Structure 1
Amino acid sequence: MASIFSKIVNGEIPSHKIVEDENYLAFLDITPLVEGHVLVIPKKEVDYIFDLDDELYTGLLLFAKKVARQLKTAIPCKRIGVAVIGLEVPHAHVHLVPLNQMDDINFSRPKMKVTNEELAITAEKIKAVV
């Protein structure tokens, strides 16, 4: 059965896409830790990040690096944090989280509740950065 991320890739579930190419997709987390929390995935569904072949793995990280630069310009923050948890969705993914303090990337704290309109505004801010 396809993961929720594969359904996003296939257009079966809507998302707030930031950028994509033939192999990778970056989109907003719908329950973010902070504004601008982005998920970066390979379009090919592989459950565990360390099961990705070397080319897909390094490509994912290079793609995430480009997205992180774009994100840092769009969302005022000190740094972009990177996390790979891999338990919540069986599809390899990287979290990019704008950081102003360490707690901004604490996954055990309550997530933000944001509207679809707020996500759309954030997505447009990030996409506007070239």
Structure 2
Amino acid sequence: MASVFTKIIDGDLPGTFVHRDELAVAIMTINPINTGHVLVIPRVEIDRWTDLPIEVAHHLVTLAHRIGNAQIRAFGCQRAALIIAGFEVPHVHLHVIPADSLDHVSFENAARTVDPADLASAAQRISQHL
């Protein structure tokens, strides 16, 4: 069965995209820890990041680097945090989170709901700096 991320990538579920290419996508998460929280996801559905082909892993980190720099410029945050956890969805995804403190990278602070217009606005701000 396809993961929720594959369904978003394939257009079967809605998603707010920041970036798309042949290997990966970057989407706004619907449970952001902080405004501008992005998920970088490979198109290939693989559960553990350590099982990714090295060229895909390299591409994901390069894309996360670009997204992080765009977040810093878009939101004026001190840094962009990068987390690879992989416990909730069995499809590799990198969390890129605008952050000014360690509190800004705690999953306990994730929003349970978010206005789609806010996601679209944050995506546009990030995209302008890519």
Q: Same fold (TM over 0.5)?
A: yes
Name the amino acid aligned to 1:68. G
Q: Using the alignment, how far apart are the partners of 1:4 and 1:127 within structure 2?
A: 23
Q: Using the alignment, how far apart are the partners of 1:54 and 1:117 within structure 2?
A: 36
| Alignment CA distance shift 1:110-1:27 (3 Å) | closer
1:10-89 equivalent positions in 2, closer than 5 A: 10-89=10-89
**Is 2:71–2:77's contact at 8 Å kept on the other side of the alignment?**
no
**4+ residue stretches of structure 1 with deviation over 4 A?**
none
Q: What is the aligned partner in structure 2 of residue 102 from structure 1? A: 102
- C-alpha RMSD of matched pairs (Å): 1.2
**Is 1:45–1:92's contact at 8 Å kept on the other side of the alignment?**
yes
Q: Which moved more, 1:91-100 or 1:101-110?
A: 101-110
Percent of residue pairs identical: 35
Cα deviation 1:5-61 (Å, max 9, x = unaligned): 001110111111001111010010111001000000111110111110111111111
Cα deviation 1:37-91 (Å, max 9, x = unaligned): 0000111110111110111111111111111111211112000001011001010
Aligned residues: 130
Q: Which moved more, 1:51-60 or 1:32-41?
A: 51-60
User: Cα distance, 1:110 vs. partner?
Assistant: 4.5
Q: What SS is found at the alignment partner of 2:86? A: coil
TM-score by length of 1: 0.94
Q: Using the alignment, how far apart are the partners of 2:110 and 2:66 within structure 1?
A: 28
Q: Does residue 124 of structure 2 align to residue 120 of structure 1?
A: no
Segments of structure 1 that go 5 or more residues without pairing to the other structure are: none
